[in-house]
Structure 1
Amino acid sequence: MLARARRELKNALRSARSALLPALLLAPSLCLMCAPQPAYAAQAGQVIVDTDIGDDIDDAFALGLLLNSPGFEILGFTSAWGDTGLRMQLLQRLLRETGHDGIPIARGIATTSMTPFTQARWAQRGSLPEPAPPAVDFLLRQIRQHPGQITLIALGPLTNIGAAITRDPATFGKLKRVVMMGGSVRAGYRKSEYAAPRPADKEYNIAADIPAAQKLFASGVPIVMMPLDSTQVRLDEVERGALFGHGSPLTDALTLLYHQWTDSYQPWSSTTPTLFDAVPVAYLADRGICPTTPLRIVVDQDGYTREQPGAPNAEVCLALDKRLFMELFMQRLLQ
């Protein structure tokens, strides 16, 4: 009797294991399907990027994020501020080495700049595209060809944009929107997210060409503004290590550009970059990263972006979801 009971118990356990095994094998899959997964929906479509790449390093990281993001049709890049020819060479080399050398590059209006071109040595090994169309001509031509479709991503001083408005305000008005990094509304520069922010500051991109900024905010074109309030997110050592060790053509280029930036004479800087210009690109990939508030923004004669009563002329992001931003940023660049 005892032997038979043992046999029946073994058979029952064996049957239970057979029934449970498929469920156990399926459980991890069910867990993965049930767990929240990042879902980023690109919002931009056709874009043109106006950039002063080569001074601070944030432009390079912003362009890296853009080039590695689906859902963007990049119609071209325009170089802005300072030595716009050398910026074109940097853009040409970056696009060539990352397999995007078919994207047009246009030469912006050259200006005097007191900001060090920190990545000049890397840029000098690029080629100056010939012929190099003027940025204003290129921008207005693209707007005429794609009325109401283009998002202009403005990552530097607004000289090219102001000139385009002056030349043909009606055509400029047919942009879908301008998404920009610039200004300071309720908080200024700060060295650490744990330190209290300064009051609103004169932000570099606005203060570099105040008349151009005033033209943009008076243009009537929809503006999405990412000021200092929401763009001072640091790329810390752990994230830098993951990116610089990744070994893709894009992360290799970003690594070299970063090290030239840190090797230059910048008494105000540190080895930890602030990703100001990556925030507008991330917003266009997922608007939840930087929710906006409608405000009326006026650029005063000193270059401050003042919040004033009246009809809103900009959607302004005043606070960043840092966790969501870093999740998207790292996921895209580590592809």
Structure 2
Amino acid sequence: MESNLGSNITKLHLDTDLGGDIDDLCALAMLCKWPDLDLSAVTTNQDDRGTRAGYVRYALNLAGKPEVPVAAGADPSLNCYRFFTGLPDENRYWPEPIPPAPSPLDKALDLLQNSIEEGAIIAGIGAYTNLALLEKRNPGCLEKANLCLMGGYLFPVPEGFPQWGYDMDWNMQIDAESALLVLERANPVLVPMTITLQTWLRRADLPALQQAGPVEKLISRQAESWAEDHRMESRFGQACSGLPKDTINFQHDPLACAIALGWKDGIEIEEYPVVSEIRDSWLRQRVDPAGKPTKVVTRVDGAKFTDFWLRLVAG
């Protein structure tokens, strides 16, 4: 494990939509355990009057990280999202009522700007709205950002995994206009959905999480509820030859954050000329000689990453 940790990288800013898909919480738990990492700030997107920010603050407190700044970012009042699904039942996913943590949008953008100026890695694991808003406020800001984004759809999903299309690429498609602006102005590493679908959280992982710290126990609780709500074991685990039969969820966001921090075991990153454009309201990407040179993750060993994640958070 030691050879894959980016020992020279110490600052990371997380921009997240934690509170929906449980992989955001899995990513935050991993970051809180990552050796020598300074989690400089956490900002939320697709927030609902500070609800997601409240969840982040609660999780950070459980992890013993109350000092990490948190700010609520873009929310549906901006009318930029394709739709807003709401959040899971708090009574089932959280052990107690969580107070919201609303704050002015500019606070989130200020934290993002400060992190970029300090040279922190920016890990975007939700919609790209905050990043786009910052670029509109401070043109040119994203050009110098050390940015890693979960999202993208250049190549088909390999056989043995869910055959999802570009329309399922949540982070890119929920606010396609913002995604396009970020892709045009920044120079990110993309961790495509087609790659993250090759990772997993298993039911077999839950006992180890239950025996670990309070954040890991919370992940186990949420995983049980997620499994009941989304039935991924029967829909994907038992139907897709590349996944364990007890797959509860995909580890989209933990993988993106680990790659941002230098995780390399079983990972391949290649550069392609990529054209990104919006057609019929959907963001579409293709390899094209006239495209923008873009670093794209093209291979992952899902079993190796799952083992790494579990040992780090629950070991």
State the TM-score bracket (shorter-chain normalisation).
0.7 to 0.9
* Aligned with 2:172 (options 200, 206, 220): 206
Tell me which amino acid in the other structure corresponds to 1:317. Answer: V
Tell me which amino acid in the other structure corresponds to 2:271. Answer: P
**Alpha carbons of structure 1 residues 74 and 311: separation in structure 2 relative to 1, 3 Å:** same
Unaligned runs of 5+ in 2: 236-246
**Native 8 Å contact 2:71 2:102 kept in 1:** no
1:137 aligns with 2:110: yes
Distance in 2 of aligned mates of 1:274 and 1:127: 28
Partner of 1:24: none
Partner of 2:243: none
1:288 aligns with 2:265: yes
Distance in 2 of aligned mates of 1:88 and 1:187: 34
Deviations 1:53-81 (A, max 9, x none): 11111111111111111132111000111
* Aligned with 1:178 (options 122, 129, 147): 147
Distance in 1 of aligned mates of 2:232 and 2:288: 32
TM-score, normalisation: structure 2: 0.82
With 202-211 and 152-161 compared, the bigger mean Cα shift is at: 202-211
- Larger Cα-atom Rg: 1
Partner of 2:283: 303
TM-score, normalisation: structure 1: 0.77
Q: Aligned-pair distance for 1:258?
A: 2.3
1:273 aligns with 2:249: yes
**Native 8 Å contact 1:214 1:298 kept in 2:** no
Q: Aligned-pair distance for 1:215?
A: 1.0
Tell me which amino acid in the other structure corresponds to 1:278. Answer: P
Partner of 1:156: 126
**Alpha carbons of structure 1 residues 204 and 280: separation in structure 2 relative to 1, 3 Å:** same
After superposition, the CA RMSD in angstroms is: 2.6
Q: Aligned-pair distance for 1:311?
A: 5.6
Unaligned runs of 5+ in 1: 1-36
**Native 8 Å contact 1:159 1:209 kept in 2:** yes
Q: Aligned-pair distance for 1:93?
A: 0.7
**Alpha carbons of structure 1 residues 298 and 268: separation in structure 2 relative to 1, 3 Å:** farther
**Alpha carbons of structure 1 residues 288 and 134: separation in structure 2 relative to 1, 3 Å:** same
Partner of 2:30: 65
Distance in 1 of aligned mates of 2:171 and 2:37: 24
Partner of 1:318: 298
Tell me which amino acid in the other structure corresponds to 1:142. Answer: S
**Alpha carbons of structure 1 residues 276 and 150: separation in structure 2 relative to 1, 3 Å:** same
Tell me which amino acid in the other structure corresponds to 2:109. Answer: V
Deviations 1:243-300 (A, max 9, x none): 23x2312211212232343454x58886711111111122124223422010123332
**Native 8 Å contact 1:151 1:179 kept in 2:** yes
Identity over aligned pairs, percent: 20
**Native 8 Å contact 2:53 2:102 kept in 1:** no
- Map 1:62-101 to 2 at 5 A: 62-83=27-48, 85-101=50-66
Distance in 2 of aligned mates of 1:213 and 1:308: 19
Partner of 1:251: 216
**Alpha carbons of structure 1 residues 289 and 101: separation in structure 2 relative to 1, 3 Å:** farther
Q: Aligned-pair distance for 1:211?
A: 1.1
**Alpha carbons of structure 1 residues 303 and 56: separation in structure 2 relative to 1, 3 Å:** same
Partner of 2:206: 240
* Aligned with 2:183 (options 214, 217, 230): 217
Distance in 1 of aligned mates of 2:45 and 2:162: 32
1:102 aligns with 2:67: yes
Secondary structure (helix, strand or coil) at the match of 2:306 reads helix
Distance in 2 of aligned mates of 1:272 and 1:294: 32
* Aligned with 2:87 (options 89, 100, 117): 117
